[in-house]
Structure 1
Amino acid sequence: MTITLIGVFAFLQVYSIQAVLPVLMMDFAATEVQAGMIVGATVMAIAIMSPFLGMLSDAVGRKSFIVGALLFLAIPTALIAQSPTIGWMGFWRFMQGLSVPGITVVTIAYIGEEFEGRDLTELMSFYVSGSVLGGFMGRFLLGHLHEFIGWRQGYYVMAAMTLIGALWVGKMLPSSRHFEANPNFRSAIQTLGEHLTNRYVVTACLLGACVLFSLVGCFTFINLHLAKAPYELSTGQLANIFAVYLIGVVITPLSTKLLRRFGAARTVRVAVITSMVGVLLTQVTPLWGIVVGLAIMSSGVFITQAATISYIAVNVKKGRSLASGLYYMGYYAGGTIGAWLCGLAYARGEWAMTVWLLLFVQVLALIVATVGMVKTKARAA
């Protein structure tokens, strides 16, 4: 329960802004690329900080780091409400991202240290389910809060929720039992060098980059597509579209069965192909067809993410927090690039060109999974 809630509160703020992008573009007279980059600002900060917070956590501890990061996250979330320009909003979004790795990276390391075998795989899937639920709730809540009280007041509500989450985790998360501090910086640098040549880590980082490129690019610019004719959806209606994320809450725990039976390599290949089919379906005209496409696309992405995270947790035994940090650096760097390049693609050829860019990146993910992933035994996954 608490592990799932950590995932929820970690991702409640990261993508919440997507539901109100069309409104923000009007309020601040922003371009498509600027809209993409205020989504990407948080993602960029997460990418930059992930390995460093991982190294710091290896020296300091787990639970206190997670709680402190949640407390810090509430501050820039509240300050977003006071943004006078799109630039200031981007700055506070960047500040949000600085704290997120202190939750995500450290939680993955915590699970890897405190649990093993089937318990580890299941808890990792519960964490990913929580992150999926948080991603949905952020978009859904802010979209509907905007219709009732405006997006600025909505961000004050989101900040209060994050503060409550920090207090809950501080009370309910058990303290580490198996954590061994490694405050030696030279040792951390040596471990970093080993990870950069570790096939498991490098493959996971490349896959992560492709995964979030697809997810951020798709769910950022589908909003602009659906806000235009013939759909002309409101922020509340756009928020409802993100209900397809809830499918991931169900599918991600089920992915553990696929991992045990087929192994991580084969599971990822099938998941990426599934995601590609979903992206293609978003080009149909009926709204229900687009929603089905988004559901299929996101399901493939969530299974890929769960399999990749478990792949690291199972195969990397030394410097887990740093390995998780490197994974998230690659993952969120891909998201940052996705927000930027998909913004350029949408500005040039709207949704059709964005789709072709997404498919190109997913083909790259398929190549990485096919060539790079070592076929682990089913029971190891």
Structure 2
Amino acid sequence: MFVNQTELASIKSSSSHSPDQGKQSRLIWALCLASVVIYINLYTVQGMLPLIAEHFDVSGAQATLVLSVTSFTLAFSLLFYAIISDRVGRLKPIVVSLWLLACSNVLLIFTQDFDALVWVRLLQGILLAAVPAIAMAYFKEQLAPEFMLKAAAIYIMANSLGGIAGRLFGGLLSQHLSWQQSMGLVFVVTLIGVAVVTFLLPRNEINPQTSIGASSSKYGRKAKMIDDLRGFWLHLSDAKMSLAYLIGGLAFMMMVNQFSFIQLHLMAAPYELSRFNATLIFLCYLSGTFASYLSAKWIVRFGSIALFKAAFLLMLCGSLLTLVDTMWAIIFGFLITASGFFLSHSCCNSFVAIRATQHRAKATSLYLCSYYLGAALGGPFLMVFWQEAKWPGVVMGSLVLLLMLFIAIWLLSRGSLNQHSAVN
């Protein structure tokens, strides 16, 4: 298994401080709320795809690109924030990016055409990346060891709740408000959320600088860049880390884009649901929220390999169940798929955070880069299947991704079992 006594001990050895419990709670609440703000801004447009298609006079399939382009710039911006936060600390990049994100929503209010919308969403992808790139490294540095897994599980649960809130919020807005009114309300909600996060975040960081930041005065710019590249290569050359990155990317590539195309399916015959009613399918994320909450206990008890296999089976069964093509089959299918995905995501996130003993923000950002790059590539990939065979085609494309996921988990389990035998 991934999380054995050796790896759990690495958390304790990496953190010798005993931070104030009140500050720890404030940090957890602040980063979880920041996560909700981030995912509301990322996924509100996914719940508004029909309105976007109508307002900007594009097809429903084209409208899904609004989510893909944001995920694309978000993915690569994660690497930038990993470097920045290693040098200047975790607090400043989070606060600055959140306030700029709130301001960027003003641009959406005045967006007149689809191309301009795409450009603004590209910009927002850069600003959205700070919190997910830094949060896990921030937790590991600031929290007592016994809180690490629990904080990671709560944070992933907040991700899930933010995703649900954003999509349902978008569906509700598209049902009752115009585009400009909707974006104005998103701006207000974001502004309030960012203000509360700024208030909650502890001002004093414990050992905020990593090896790069601590030694920045000793090296020139070229040496720093080389050290940054070595940090990324350190994790990319770790076979287990790379497989965890691949697993997260493939799982998200399938799951998040299934939720985009199922809306189009539910709004067509024979279901013909309204815009808002179609977005209620995102309530199926709640099964993922529950799985995320329990994941810390399950990882310690069963090990990540067993959970990865269980998550794969859940995603496979959930996807196939939707082919029955009744409302209840679709709902239960997505409940099963969401629980499997978030279980897999929690395992990947915890493993990366625990395994990285140096260049921590880079390790997390590489995982999330793969994760969001999967989301960006999954839209165009599954769109081809949608255009050829509608929802059954999307399921067929998902099975291709699940086959690759199965191979990655199998390779990971071989290496993990060998290590577990050596440890014992």
TM norm structure 2? 0.85
Please say if 1:192 is aligned against 2:232. Answer: yes
In the TM superposition, what are the counterparts of 1:20-39 in structure 2 within 5 Å?
20-39=48-67
Greater displacement, 233-242 / 325-334: 233-242
Q: Does the CA-based 8 Å contact 1:46-1:328 persist in structure 2?
A: no
Change in CA separation of 1:86 and 1:364 when aligned onto 2, cut-off 3 Å: same
In structure 1, how many angstroms separate the alpha carbons of the residues matched to 2:316 and 2:103? 38
Deviation string 1:244-272 (CA, Å, 9 cap, x unpaired) is 11222222111112101111122111112
Q: Does the CA-based 8 Å contact 2:385-2:396 persist in structure 1?
A: no
Determine which of 128, 136, 142 is the counterpart of 1:100: 128
Please say if 1:296 is aligned against 2:333. Answer: no
In structure 2, how many angstroms separate the alpha carbons of the residues matched to 1:235 and 1:33? 15
Which residue does the alignment assign to 2:5?
Answer: none
Greater displacement, 241-250 / 94-103: 241-250
Q: For residue 356 of structure 2, what is the amino acid of its counterpart?
A: V
Name the SS of the counterpart of 1:14 in structure 2: helix
Please say if 1:177 is aligned against 2:217. Answer: no
TM-align CA RMSD? 1.8
Q: Does the CA-based 8 Å contact 2:81-2:93 persist in structure 1?
A: no
Q: Does the CA-based 8 Å contact 2:51-2:179 persist in structure 1?
A: no
Q: Does the CA-based 8 Å contact 2:249-2:375 persist in structure 1?
A: yes
Q: Does the CA-based 8 Å contact 2:318-2:333 persist in structure 1?
A: yes
In the TM superposition, what are the counterparts of 1:354-373 in structure 2 within 5 Å?
354-373=394-413
Q: For structure 1, list consecutive stretches of 5 or more residues without a partner in the other structure.
A: none
In the TM superposition, what are the counterparts of 1:195-214 in structure 2 within 5 Å?
195-214=235-254
Change in CA separation of 1:86 and 1:68 when aligned onto 2, cut-off 3 Å: same
Determine which of 50, 54, 61 is the counterpart of 2:78: 50
Deviation string 1:156-190 (CA, Å, 9 cap, x unpaired) is 21122222222111111223213224243332122
Deviation string 1:203-224 (CA, Å, 9 cap, x unpaired) is 1211121021012220111111
CA positional deviation for 1:362: 1.7
Q: For residue 195 of structure 1, what is the amino acid of its counterpart?
A: H
Name the SS of the counterpart of 1:180 in structure 2: coil
In structure 2, how many angstroms separate the alpha carbons of the residues matched to 1:141 and 1:273? 31
Determine which of 33, 54, 61 is the counterpart of 2:89: 61
Q: For structure 2, list consecutive stretches of 5 or more residues without a partner in the other structure.
A: 1-28, 214-223
Greater displacement, 245-254 / 97-106: 245-254
In the TM superposition, what are the counterparts of 1:92-131 in structure 2 within 5 Å?
92-115=120-143, 117-131=145-159
Name the SS of the counterpart of 1:12 in structure 2: helix
Which residue does the alignment assign to 2:21?
Answer: none
CA positional deviation for 1:116: 5.2
CA positional deviation for 1:2: 2.6
Which residue does the alignment assign to 1:228?
Answer: 268
Deviation string 1:79-131 (CA, Å, 9 cap, x unpaired) is 22322222111111111110122111111110122235441111001111111
Change in CA separation of 1:325 and 1:354 when aligned onto 2, cut-off 3 Å: same
TM norm structure 1? 0.94
Name the SS of the counterpart of 2:273 in structure 1: coil
Name the SS of the counterpart of 1:344 in structure 2: helix
